[in-house]
Amino acid sequence: MRMSRYFLPILKETPAEAQIVSHRLMLRAGMIKQASAGIYSWLPLGFKVLRRLEDIVHEEQIRAGHNPMLMPTLQSADLWRESGRYEDYGEEMLRITDRHGRDMLYGPTNEELITDIFRGHVQSYKDLPLTLYHIQWKFRDERRPRFGVMRGREFFMKDGYNFDVSKEAALHAYNRHMVSYLRTYERMGLKAIPMRADSGPIGGDDTHEFLVLADTGESEVFYDSAILDLKLGDRDVDYDNWDQCSAIKDEWTTPYARTDETHNEARFAEVPEAHRKSSRGIEVGQIFYFGTKYSDAMNAKVVNEEGAHVPVHMGSHGIGVSRLVGAIIEASHDDNGIIWPESVAPFKVGIVNLKQGSEEADGACEALYKELNAKGLEPIYDDRNERAGAKFATMDLIGIPWRITVGPRGLKNGVVELTSRKTGESVEVTPEEAVARCEAIYADV
């Protein structure tokens, strides 16, 4: 993409409404524009990051054997009356009446809808296990939206639902989700810690939230710092292997890690003092096992091996995709702007032309641009007629992980400069070498 043709309305000054750093940077980098309280338009740069996260979530869900689908944003109130939640959910649910006077709602979650789909099409244990999920916009009419996309009213979320014939099978689904979530967050360059949590309005027995540590987090968290050293890495996971998933879950849930809601001082005191940490965290996902809560209420049964009709065991799992954009920025930025992890960066490499209009610099940049595009390294080429300072500041603000700086001074010696956004370190290399290095960097992202 050429910056001269890209819609990137960056701001030098911080809009008054933004308080926390991710909100400020998203506005300044031209990623979002507020449409009304807690509701945002996603401008090209923000949309690109959002799609990247969505892609990663899809890839990891499919890897775990789950079925992508898409349910509507508007739902009929009837299903919610059946589960009893139409009354229970309260003011956070946006209720709408259509022209025929039918009660509708903008879905805050999809347990009812998915259970209805399930009961209409699945009758036998032979069709289980089954996990369906979608990534869709949700709406919760927060009393006080704030922090930009971190706590909006409209938000983009992956929510999935597993259906199993027994509690044991459903608990494997729970473990499988924990592993796939760990992998998802790790791919996004995040350290998200599973913490025992309260089940809230979803209900259920077993639940963990995933929290990213950041000073601006809404929750107070307490944990054993040993958990920070855990890494899934490239270990070979078989998502159908109950023992392996269970072992990985144990690995991550053995060190103490809880939010203030479930914090237990006595058990925390058993953690070695040097490892005892407390800080703040941003919740970026949650998994639940809730048994037969919805299948009982909505009569979702399957025939088991003995020929008996039994309510199906369920769980649900969510990842706040739009919120993650903010959470990643909270976890990865500096005074100059955003620092995208390579895996989620909207553009992989930035090209800065220091002398727009000069034959040598333009030619070298065009060649680099073409080569990077050919190799799928998605460059953003700052071809505007701006001064060097403005171009550097823009690249830093929008957080492009690697920058290739092309100027007459270097070209005289046949070199360009390759700079890491994260460390600020630069190396002078030939243009070919710069491309080769970028290719190597992104080969294993």
Q: How far is the CB of 43 from RNA (least distance, A)?
A: 13
For residues 330 and 1, give the distance between their C-alpha atoms in angstroms, rounded to a whole number.
26
Q: How far is the CB of 206 from RNA (least distance, A)?
A: 15
Q: How far is the CB of 58 from RNA (least distance, A)?
A: 18
**Tokens, residue 139:** 């709406």
Nearer to RNA, 36 or 266 (CB): 36
74, amino acid identity: L
Nearer to RNA, 160 or 407 (CB): 407
Q: How far is the CB of 348 from RNA (least distance, A)?
A: 18
Q: How far is the CB of 379 from RNA (least distance, A)?
A: 17
Nearer to RNA, 48 or 355 (CB): 355
Q: How far is the CB of 169 from RNA (least distance, A)?
A: 25
Q: How far is the CB of 397 from RNA (least distance, A)?
A: 5
Nearer to RNA, 130 or 418 (CB): 418
Q: How many residues does the chain have?
A: 445
**Tokens, residue 131:** 């996990």
For residues 11 and 397, give the distance between their C-alpha atoms in angstroms, rounded to a whole number.
10
Nearer to RNA, 30 or 129 (CB): 30
Sign, CA dihedral 75-76-80-86, equals positive
Binding footprint of RNA on the chain (CB under 7 A): 10-17, 19, 28, 34, 36-38, 92, 140, 142-147, 150-153, 155, 157, 200-202, 209, 218-219, 283-286, 318, 320, 322-323, 336-337, 354-357, 385-390, 392-394, 396-397, 405, 407-410, 417, 419, 424, 426
Nearer to RNA, 224 or 396 (CB): 396
Look-up: residue for tokens 């036998």?
124
Nearer to RNA, 363 or 424 (CB): 424
Look-up: residue for tokens 């290095």?
437
203 within 8 A of 71, measured Cβ to Cβ: no
Q: How far is the CB of 358 from RNA (least distance, A)?
A: 9
Nearer to RNA, 100 or 144 (CB): 144
Q: How far is the CB of 227 from RNA (least distance, A)?
A: 19
Q: How far is the CB of 220 from RNA (least distance, A)?
A: 10
Nearer to RNA, 113 or 321 (CB): 321
Nearer to RNA, 119 or 153 (CB): 153
Q: How far is CA 69 from CA 223, 275, 323, in A?
A: 36, 42, 21
Peptide bond into 401 cis (omega under 30): no
| CA-wise closest residue to 351 among 411, 439, 435, 256 | 435
